[in-house]
Copies of this chain bind each other. A is one copy, B any other.
Amino acid sequence: MKKLGKQTLQLDNKPSILNTAAIVGPKELNGPLAKYFDKCVEDEFWGEASWEKAESKFIKETVSTVLGKANVSSSDIDYVFAGDLLNQCISSSFGMRDTNIPFFGLFGACSTFVEGLCLGSVFIDSGACKNVLCATSSHFCSAEKQFRFPLELGNQRTPTSQWTVTGSGAVVLGKSDTGPYITHITPGKIVDLGIKDANNMGAAMAPAALSTLCAHLEDTGRSPDYYDAIITGDLGYLGKDILIDIAKTKGYDIASIYNDCGVLIFDKKKQDTHSGGSGCACIATVFSGYLYKMMKENNIKKLLLIATGALTNATTSQQGESIPGIAHAVAIEM
């Protein structure tokens, strides 16, 4: 492992992504990426008594699925890195409590999936252990209930609002002769440019995405076109446009190779999600379901994956605070 510049770690023993799994909900079932997911559940409760319990089931079943696909038992996983958006990250802790795997709970808002990949990669690369598991979840209904309004209120959503992805994505990292490999990690700094609109997370998070993108490119000496694709987590339509614009001010033209998981997961015309998808599961499911398969099929050979998070909550919004953003990046290469 070697520190490059201010933020990036170059991984010399390249952790391999042994396998991935993604399970999603009904909205995602009707989206353009449905065929890439391991399972699409038609009932947002998934037979549970509450949305919180349903979200826990998503992460539990996804973890079970990825262990099966990677052909490793839970006792072969040294450590798990997991988190979610619910207060006190209960989806992860309740979802993982029966696994009997040492557990690192994370909170990076919607950046948690790549935060886990960063930490897990360091554990694998350093030789500390053989296999780690990274997982996150989110759920439209539990997120609306907690962060905005009860769904029963039928509240009108603002044009800049995003639709929290219901689902979970999980990966197993380890050593293998086949890729894709995580080659670099660039953990992000907290960036707060003063956005206060809790229904415009894309605008709040785009500067953090830019900060981490610039740090990664400067630290590695790469230009954006080194990558076949640069993919952010959940900036949505608005945040995507903002990032393209503000990247230009730094001299980077990323428009041709850049996209956002929040843009990819739902159909803009047929599905009424306004500014696209969001949530911890947005990048987790799009990477684990779609992008990983694209890499395995060599349609994408070099991917820069940047997960963005808004480090805020309902209390801080009510107290007039702005919304700090953060973005963590990993370079993944075949």
Contact = CB atoms under 8 A, between A and B. Distances in A.
B313 A88 contact: yes
Interface in A63-99: 78-79, 83, 85-90, 93-94, 96-97, 99
A187 B313 contact: no
Contact of A311 (B89, B112, B321): B89
Contacts of A1: 126-128
A78 B321 contact: no
Interface string A113-130: 001001100110111110
A156 interface: no
A50 B187 CA distance: 30
A96 B188 CA distance: 13
A99 B85 CA distance: 24
Interface stretch (A20-28, A100-108, A161-169): A100-108
Contact of A106 (B105, B188, B324, B326): B105
A7 interface: yes
Contacts of A105: 106-109, 112, 115, 311, 326
A312 B134 CA distance: 21
B90 A88 contact: no
Given A105-B108, A107-B83, A187-B102, A90 B315 contact: yes
A1 to B, nearest CB: 5
B324 A102 contact: no
Most buried by B among A49, A53, A87, A101: A87
Given A94-B311, A97-B324, 19 more contacts: A1-B126, A52-B315, A53-B319, A87-B313, A87-B314, A88-B311, A88-B313, A89-B311, A90-B311, A93-B190, A93-B324, A94-B316, A94-B321, A97-B190, A97-B311, A102-B188, A103-B189, A103-B190, A104-B187
Interface of A: 1, 3, 6-7, 9, 49-50, 52-53, 78-79, 83, 85-90, 93-94, 96-97, 99-109, 112, 115, 118-119, 122-123, 125-129, 187-190, 192, 311-316, 319, 321, 324, 326
